[in-house]
Amino acid sequence: MHSTLILGTTVAAAAVAYALKPKRPKTELEASAVPIPLVPSYLPLQLDSVLGYIISTLAGMDEMEFLRNITNKYGNTINLRGLNEDFVVVLDPSSVQHILAKNQPNYEKGPQFQEIFHEFLGSGIFNADGEVWKTQRQLARPHFQTSEFRDAALINRHVDQLIKVINKRIDTAPNASLDIQNLFCRFTLDEATDFLFGDSINSLEHEDSEFSTAFNYAQSITAWRFRVPLWKYLVPKRRFLREIKILDNFVYRIIDNALERQEERDKESKKNHETETEKHNGGHATLLDHFLSYQKETEFDREYLRSMLLNFLLAGRDTTASLLTWTMWHLVQRPDVVARMKEEILQVLGPNAVPGYDDIKKLKYQKQVVNEVLRLCPPVPFNIRQSIEEDVLPNGYYVPPKTPIAYSAYSTHRMPELWGNDVLEFDPDRWGPERVGSIRPFMFVPFHAGPRICLGQNLAYTTAQVTLTRLLQNYEIQPVPGFKPEQLGDIVLFSRNGMQVHIKKKSLIED
């Protein structure tokens, strides 16, 4: 996107916004509350701030650190107004709790958010409000209960394939570095599509699959829609719609096959109490099968099912890949942490045993490591709501109606006043029994919180811990000299330049 084009359209948008924005008289509540501090801007309609942000983003700016630096300078509740439109950011736990839990009904995704995501995610759970969201969550919750994946068999099946791919790479190029982020994205896509659809993409075997390419492109373009004024006219759409069509063709094929299976199950269930659903994957239905079991009550159509499945895929695939990627980055910097993790694995499992769900629960230090990665590198570093009615935050600041209000787990997790002067240090002992009690509610929100807390957080922990255990049992992982990841905060926190590591085969017993 050309910066001159962005400049011209932004100026035009600013003029229109200024001309059409109605003047709103102060309400009684507003008059009695404190206005949220504005981040200084020196041109009319905050054009310097808007253009500076867009151009810096195009140039590869670290947006997470950009926001953290602003809040460090101007406070933990700020108004990043642009084009005369308010955009509130809150970091303190009491305000985050107010938005996500205590007054959650007043803060929804809102029409602007939904319009940006609609072509990609439709009216699925990630993009829905009100009764639509409640219905989908109530239906999905049972499938994400711990009992659905206690034996971790599905996860281990895909870790087996991940290990095969890594071994092949080592045998082919033993001294070359490996982009472990790329592998984790393909691994979690395979696992997530298997868990959700019962039909894995197998992207570990076929790296450049149409589906994975389309899915990645759709996320990237959707993220840019948040950044650019008049995005409908500036952000590329022709290819975007072609890639969405690829996603649709795949998902609708899966849905149609599942509908056929459902018809067969309905016929069979009249003859036998044990249905195919109960037999599937050792007694575990897919999420799609789970939804279809309620079809007669809810009358889902194919489009509704398509939206739900893509929403859960977005929520489950990249977030776990992000967690594993940043865990690798921190581990290659800290051989002392790796040594403690390996010692614990040997005590609990030995050098070769494949971990099950009950085994993972015994790896206490490993869980501390994962939590510390989630603190410093939350997979969803930034999230947005919109106020419905006017409100006052616990710290006394006034929120106007219909105002975008964002919270940043990334920034909250790095506040010295909450976590101490060593806030930027990677320290898993922060989560040990001696210190964990000092972590207050809503200080730590990697999976969000309140009624919309992530349904798949237990699955994310289990996937991450099973995968880490297996990798540490089989390999020695070392840093690549001179490599440093560049944070990219689109929808999910990744590294713009991948995650390069050196990896070689080594039995855990040899350490």
Cα–Cα distance for residue pair 263/286, rounded to 1 Å: 16
Query: pLDDT, tens digit, for every residue of 335-365?
Result: 999 999 999 999 999 998 999 988 999 999 9
Among the residue ranges 46-50, 87-91, 199-203, the one predicted with the least confidence is: 46-50
Q: What backbone torsions phi and psi does residue 346 show, to the nearest 5 degrees?
A: -60, -40
Q: What is the pLDDT of residue 279?
A: 46
Residues 6+ apart with CB under 8 A from 167: 505
The band of 219, judged by pLDDT with boundaries at 50, 70 and 90, is confident
Q: What is the pLDDT of residue 277?
A: 46
pLDDT at 264 over 80: no
Q: What is the pLDDT of residue 472?
A: 97
Cα–Cα distance for residue pair 162/156, rounded to 1 Å: 10
Query: Mean per-residue pLDDT for 84-98?
Result: 94
- Asked if 78 and 40 touch (Cβ cutoff 8 Å), the reply is no
- Residue spans of the domains in the chain: they are 3-499
The band of 329, judged by pLDDT with boundaries at 50, 70 and 90, is very high
- Asked if 47 and 11 touch (Cβ cutoff 8 Å), the reply is yes
The band of 284, judged by pLDDT with boundaries at 50, 70 and 90, is very low
Q: Pick the residue with more confidence: 263 or 11?
A: 263
Q: What is the pLDDT of residue 52?
A: 78
- The residue written with tokens 């899966």 in the block is 254
The band of 422, judged by pLDDT with boundaries at 50, 70 and 90, is very high
Closest CA relative to residue 433, chosen from 388, 368, 385: 368
Q: In what order do the strands lie in the sheet with 397-399?
A: 34-35, 397-399, 391-392
> Can you give the C-alpha Rg of the chain in angstroms?
24
DSSP code, position 413:
T
Q: What is the pLDDT of residue 281?
A: 41
- Asked if 349 and 468 touch (Cβ cutoff 8 Å), the reply is no
Residues 6+ apart with CB under 8 A from 78: 36, 37, 38, 39, 70, 71, 88, 89
**SS3 labels along 226-248:** HHCCCHHHHCCCHHHHHHHHHHH
Residue 185 labelled as part of a binding site: no
Query: Mean per-residue pLDDT for 196-208?
Result: 84
Strands 178-179 and 500-505: antiparallel
Q: What is the pLDDT of residue 44?
A: 83
CATH node for 3-499:
1.10.630.10
